[in-house]
Amino acid sequence: MVNLEQPKRRVAFVLIDGIGDVSLPRFGYKTPLQLAKIPNLDAIASAGVNGLMDPVEVGLGCGSDTAHLSLLGYDPRVYYRGRGAFESMGAGLAMSPGDIAFKSNFATLDEATGIVVSRRADRHFEEEGPILCAALDGMKLPSFPEYEVRVRYATEHRCGVVIKGPKLSGNISGTDPLKDNRLLLQANPLDDTDEAKHTAAVVNELSKEISRILLAHPLNAKRAAEGKNVANLVLLRGCGIRIEVAPFEKIHGLWPCMVAPTKIIAGLGLSLGIDILEAPGATGDYRTLLTSKATAIARALSAPLQSCPNVFVPGEDEHKPGRLDGYDFGFLHIKAIDDAGHDKASVFKVKGLEAVDCAIGQLARLLWEAESTGKFSYYLCVTGDHSTPVEYGDHSFEPVPFALCSLKDFVSALGGESVLSGISLDPFPLPSIQAGEDVDTGTRIEEDKNNKLQFFSGDLVDKFSEIAAARGCLGRFPGSEMMGIIKAYLKLEA
């Protein structure tokens, strides 16, 4: 009997945070993507369609939150309400209408001068952060006893802070001066409403009470004795409320899941009705296990499963089971490349991209095994949310490369099933870089001469980079068009 049932089309969407860059003089005026050995990313470019994408619009250096909203089909100018709610929900704090939240840093304050000496008390705060958050969680404000304060550790030096109570406004400024060695700011109302003025007063008292509690904590006495920065301040920034939007599945007709240990991205996903999956060992920083992320997405996209992946629920101690019949859109977020840009770590950005490429190969192999059952037809899509050039050390406005292909064409471009099956599924750490280590600026060029990838019907791009993507058939487009491009491609390939 002939099986007339069409395979279920599913998308593995990989977003490499901060992927875009500019040509580096010390690397022969090439970008990290041009230098990195990334055969799997190159195969995706060769196998499908390519273009340059401005995550929000041309010339705008955007944050990850606004960029992600735009890419997923939600106009940030309409729906954005501050990043605090995203960070706090991703950290595990439930939010109700009327609550306000902050994306917050543990920081170091010079009490005598009121100057924020360091906006990051310690970037590696994984052990101490949860202890200090527990000391702050549930704290009371002497002048405003009717308000509840919830604090939860996020990642690195960050935490989420939620205030619950009457007549709160999200339209206030924060306390973060945004640079080291500047005066701590006071929260101020951004409009003339009584709610905004009242909320600013509540937040300013919260800032003082947090510092009082932290200063008296024995952990800070220990840090001071060890000559470390004390964490005697929490900078409150990005005041926001939970956005109310139509869920991703209703807008796009694709049931979504996400692996995003970075709390702000997880919280944004939760706000859009995207299930957040567990990936053991995935941390959202340089210590992350990329293989764990790839495996979690592959499992979610290859259901029905023997055991469904666990889904994170903010504000609850237990996790709920995932979607029984699998997901249609698996969002894999990779943060470490953005960190490399912020840290101006050019060599790590090159080698980190090579590690990401290995993880994409692992993801492709796992999905190919599922596609061989005949039940599914997979597509690979890779892009970024913004540029984080290593010479600049912050988000910038350069466009990012975008590539989309079917898995079967990817396998052909890579060299066939035998090449794909040779990809190891063993977990691996992100690379460690030695002082003075550099990259070979000519290696990939020589390899390119000897290894020509097969072209397909999309366009003549055969490399994944900012420069090559400019020749793609998609041209240059705004991020708001991305989901439309993906859905149109799935239909064309049906």
Instruction: Output the CATH code of domain 8-80+247-492.
Output: 3.40.720.10
pLDDT digits (tens, 9 = 90+) for 137-184: 999 999 999 999 999 998 888 899 999 999 999 999 999 999 999 999
pLDDT digits (tens, 9 = 90+) for 390-437: 999 999 999 999 999 999 999 999 999 999 999 999 999 888 887 777
**Spatial CA neighbour of 247 closest among 329, 172, 168:** 329
Q: CA–CA separation, 379 vs 274, rounded Å?
A: 19
Mean pLDDT (the chain) is 90
Q: What percent of the chain has pLDDT over 90?
A: 74
User: What are the residue boundaries of the structural domains of the chain, listed by start?
Assistant: 8-80+247-492, 84-240
pLDDT of residue 3: 47
Whether 122 has a pLDDT exceeding 90, the answer reads no
Least confident of 47-56, 70-79, 117-126, 313-322: 313-322
Q: CA–CA separation, 327 vs 313, rounded Å?
A: 17
pLDDT of residue 306: 43
Q: Which helix (H) or strand (E) holds 69?
A: helix 64-71
Q: CA–CA separation, 198 vs 8, rounded Å?
A: 53
**Spatial CA neighbour of 466 closest among 404, 393, 390, 401:** 401
pLDDT digits (tens, 9 = 90+) for 165-178: 999 999 999 999 99
Query: What is the pLDDT averaged over residues 305-319?
Result: 58
Radius of gyration of the chain (CA): 23
Whether 4 has a pLDDT exceeding 60, the answer reads no
396 contacts 61 by C-beta, under 8 angstroms: yes
Single pTM value for the model: 0.87
